[in-house]
Structures are given as C-alpha cells and as structure tokens.
Structure 1
C-alpha cells in the first residue's frame, strides 16, 4: 500500500515530522553530491597553497 493514501489519516504533527525528515534527507543528498564534486578542486587548491607557501619561504 502506498504512503499517499495514508497521508489523509495522519495528524498534523506526523505530517510535519515526515516533511522535515524528507527535507533533511534531500539536504544530505545535495551536500554529498556537492562534496563529491568539489573535493578534488579543494584538494588541488590546498596542495597549490602549500606549494606556494613553501616556495615563498625559500
């Protein structure tokens, strides 16, 4: 049985809890996707910064 037919019988508090949970899961997926996409660039920038600071010390 699908969740949607049960939606009409849920209390307002239960509906709010389900909505907050869904939004939280969506935010986690977006954050994981962005982290996966940006992590190589962040690591490359950190390595470049360390090399730059090491070269300026000499």
Structure 2
C-alpha cells in the first residue's frame, strides 16, 4: 500500500508505525487501537485482492 493518511499524518506504512510509536509511546490504549485499525485495513485490502 502506498500512502497512508490519518489526522494530520500522511506517509508510508512504516512512517505511520514510527509516528504511532513516537506520538503514543506513553499511551498503550491508543497505540494498540491504531495497530488494530492498521491490521483491519490490511486484512480488508487482502480480501479485496482475492475477490472473495
């Protein structure tokens, strides 16, 4: 996947993960929520590719 956008962030998936780690390093709840959403999006993208 190319560019990810969330709030004021825009960049690659790796850049997003680095931003999450930096921004929410002291907030496990929000950090975990971001990673759950990322996982959901990636699973949906995989599902769309397969066409099931």
TM-score range, shorter chain: 0.5 to 0.7
Please list every run of 5 or more consecutive structure 1 residues that lacks an aligned counterpart in the other structure. Answer: 39-58
Aligned-residue RMSD, C-alpha: 2.4
CA contact 2:20–2:31 (8 Å) conserved in 1: no
Structure 1 residue runs of 4+, over 3 Å off?
A: none
Q: How many correspondences in the alignment? A: 36
Q: Which has the higher strand share?
A: 2
> What TM-score, normalized by structure 2, do the two folds share?
0.54
In structure 1, distance between residues paired with 2:35 and 2:20: 14
Q: Which has the higher helix share?
A: 1
Cross-structure match for 1:29: 45
Structure 1 or 2, whichever has the larger Rg, is: 1
Please list every run of 5 or more consecutive structure 2 residues that lacks an aligned counterpart in the other structure. Answer: 1-8, 10-14
